[in-house]
Structure 1
Amino acid sequence: MILRDATPADAPAAAALGSEAFCAAFAYLYRPEDLNTFLAANHSPEKAAAEIADPAMRVHLAVDEAGKLLGFCKLVLSCGWPEHARADRVIELKQLYTDPAATGRGIGATLMDWALAEAAVRGAGEMQLSVWSGNDGAQRFYARYGFAKMADIHFIVGEQRDEEFLYAKLF
């Protein structure tokens, strides 16, 4: 596995993997029209390209030796939930997605290690992330890294409002 920063040329692959990973985990929760609208707005090549180009974000990739995208991690270099911030400098872990066919290969752990190191280099005192209230596996994953539930929040997909948890970790 090779880790590297995303480039504009990676936007289509990142968008496709984002859609695939989201659907593999959550598509069953949503009406097709809500899911399709959400995916078009949040996992399009245009959105991925804008995030890669955004100086207020960092997008890091895990690729195999042939260059196939295995996963990505997006950091927002500012606080997503300032009302819950416990440090002066808070970074948000926006997404950590892996190829559903490559689960169990340590991709998520490797990307999480990068995210935590990146936050430390940037002087963050805290990292925040949101996780679906029904995603027990992700909650266990984040807990292994020292994240804990801070608050109940919401995530909107079309007309559906999901119960989410805000997790955070102090450095």
Structure 2
Amino acid sequence: MTSPVVRRATLADAPALAALGAETFTETFGHLYPPQDLDAFLEGSHSIDVWTRKFADPKTAIWIALVDSTAIGFLAVGACKLPIEGREATAGEIQQLYVLARHHNLRLGSRLIDLGLEWLRAQGQTPIYIGVWSENLGAQRFYGRHGFSKVGEYGFPVGETVDREFILKR
């Protein structure tokens, strides 16, 4: 396997990001949901149209990680959209960070989050938030190592299922 390449994603990457987003979410969380809830969520969050709209938002930046031209991870950051009472007008958010499980040992998560944090700071988007499933202890430890701590919670809908999600802040 060649070393992963990480670069800013472009509109041409929307189909690859839609497929990778669906694959990584299903790989990580798919077992938690009835099929109809999972399908509804994936259509609403990881369709080509959804990714195309993200690229049209000037307050959003996306990176993609590839091995031999195959997408294996991605990061999307932008203005904070989490339901935070009194949220700062300049708040940024790590909106999505996923790497296929078979590539977790490559430190891509750290490479991607560092790029995203740097970009958000350069845009003046501070503080920075992220939503993390309450039972995803590995992700919580990862974000803790990057300076995030819990400041709240909310209900995250996946179809008709509503997950308990923690809000972390840096």
Determine if the TM-score, normalized by the shorter chain, exceeds 0.5.
Answer: yes
Q: CA deviation at 1:82?
A: 4.4
Which letter does structure 1 place at the counterpart of 2:83?
A: W
Counterparts of 1:80-119 in structure 2, within 5 Å, are 80-85=82-87, 87=88, 89-119=90-120
User: Which residue of structure 2 aligns with residue 13 of structure 1?
Assistant: 16
Q: Flag structure 2 segments of 5+ consecutive residues without an equivalent.
A: none
Deviations 1:66-113 (A, max 9, x none): 32212111112345334153x552101110011222111111110011
Does the Cα contact within 8 Å between 2:77 and 2:116 map onto a contact in 1? yes
How many Å separate the matches in 2 of 1:98 and 1:158?
A: 23
Identity percentage of aligned residues: 37
Which letter does structure 2 place at the counterpart of 1:39?
A: L
User: Which residue of structure 2 aligns with residue 71 of structure 1?
Assistant: 73
Q: Describe the shift of the 1:88–1:156 C-alpha distance in structure 2 as closer, same or farther (beyond 3 A).
A: closer
1:56 maps to which of 59, 74, 82: 59
**Number of residues of Structure 1 aligned to a counterpart in Structure 2:** 167
Q: Describe the shift of the 1:84–1:148 C-alpha distance in structure 2 as closer, same or farther (beyond 3 A).
A: farther
1:26 maps to which of 26, 29, 43: 29
Does the Cα contact within 8 Å between 1:154 and 1:164 map onto a contact in 2? yes
How many Å separate the matches in 2 of 1:153 and 1:78?
A: 14
Q: CA deviation at 1:63?
A: 2.0
Moved over 4 A (4+): none
How many Å separate the matches in 1 of 2:130 and 2:155?
A: 12
How many Å separate the matches in 2 of 1:49 and 1:79?
A: 18
How many Å separate the matches in 2 of 1:41 and 1:35?
A: 10
Q: CA deviation at 1:53?
A: 2.3
How many Å separate the matches in 2 of 1:28 and 1:81?
A: 26
User: Which residue of structure 1 aligns with residue 134 of structure 2?
Assistant: 133
Aligned residues: CA RMSD? 1.5
Q: Describe the shift of the 1:84–1:21 C-alpha distance in structure 2 as closer, same or farther (beyond 3 A).
A: farther
How many Å separate the matches in 2 of 1:57 and 1:5?
A: 11
Does the Cα contact within 8 Å between 2:83 and 2:154 map onto a contact in 1? no
How many Å separate the matches in 1 of 2:91 and 2:5?
A: 27
Q: Secondary structure at the match of 2:44?
A: helix
Q: Secondary structure at the match of 1:104?
A: helix
